Amino acid sequence: MQLTRNILAGAFAAALVAAPAGAQEHQMTLAHVLSEQSAYQIILTRFGELVEERSNGRIAVEVQCCAQAGNETRAIQSFRTGVLTGGFVGGSSLETVVPAFRVLSLPYLWTGSEEAYEVLQGETGREMLDFLHEFGMHGLGWGAIFERSVASRRPVETVEDLQGLKIRVLPTPGFVEAYRVMGAQPTPMAYGEVFMALQNNVVDALEISPDSIVADRFVEVVEYYSLTKAHQSTTVFVLAKSFFDGLPEDLQEIVQTAADEAIAHGIEAHLELNRKGLEIVRERGVTVIEPDLAPFAEAARPSWDVILADVPEARELLEIIEAGRQR
């Protein structure tokens, strides 16, 4: 019996010696809900290529697009429990778990996407990601920003034109309250139902980014696209904290630097998709309106106190953002 144990132990040791230095040690499964043409997919694909190459195969990466792992609420729960390694989700989805992120639903929080990118990609953005740790998640970085404006069946040139407008909004308190205060009739509904709802006059409009209005064919059912830009919807590259903390320091550094580079690449691709999106919107005969945003921002501002009510963590995060503007 002892001889058998020695033989097996020797064989096992020999196998370890014979194993290649770059043998896979960790498997990453990354999920998102958007299409294979989205910024999410672009970023995660580039990330996987960089990580596998720089880790010499010690980390393998699989990307699951198109809600294969369920909606964002389900994905976030999977990140927290470690069922999924991580992926991309919207900041508005995270606010259901991370109270501080309610601040991201404030209308006209940013002067525009340029300011949002500047703050989020810097030191302030890193401080904001630290709020995820308490909830079992680790933030690798902020991704592409979806600048959401009003696509509608009737023109929206002034705040008064929003009065009574039945508009599909993201199903979060911040989005609902923002449009309610501006006089519209906010209607939360599943994204997959919106196209038919517009066709059947169940809603008059939706708030959406330039790339998505084309990719998801809403140019076929709206006549106007008003660049109201009420929300700069943030996106976050999240990992299960248990996974990231379990990596040796050298692999943690590889994962973080790969994420930084992949995000920068994806943001550039997303900006190009937005530019082309607006071109196609005009080519398809949809009238693009560029209203004065000051009256919209003024009308929306009373929603801030309601959105932040009883959420001290969100007010704390707002203070961090305001301080970040001064850096």
Phi-psi group of 168: left, alpha or beta (phi > 0 → left; psi -120 to 50 → alpha; rest → beta): beta
Q: Which residues pair with 233 in a beta bridge?
A: 146
Amino acid at 166: K
pLDDT of 2: 44
Amino acid at 108: Y
pLDDT < 70: residue spans in the chain: 1-22
Asked if residues 99 and 311 have their Cβ atoms less than 8 Å apart, the reply is yes
pLDDT of 7: 40
pLDDT of 22: 55
Read out DSSP for 39-87? HHHHHHHHHHHHHHHHTTTSEEEEEE-TTTT--HHHHHHHHHHTSS-EE
pLDDT of 5: 43
Rg (CA), the chain: 23
Backbone angles phi, psi at 288, to 5 degrees: -95, 125
Asked if residues 288 and 227 have their Cβ atoms less than 8 Å apart, the reply is yes
What's the pLDDT tens digit per position in 102-114? 999 999 999 999 9
pLDDT of 37: 83
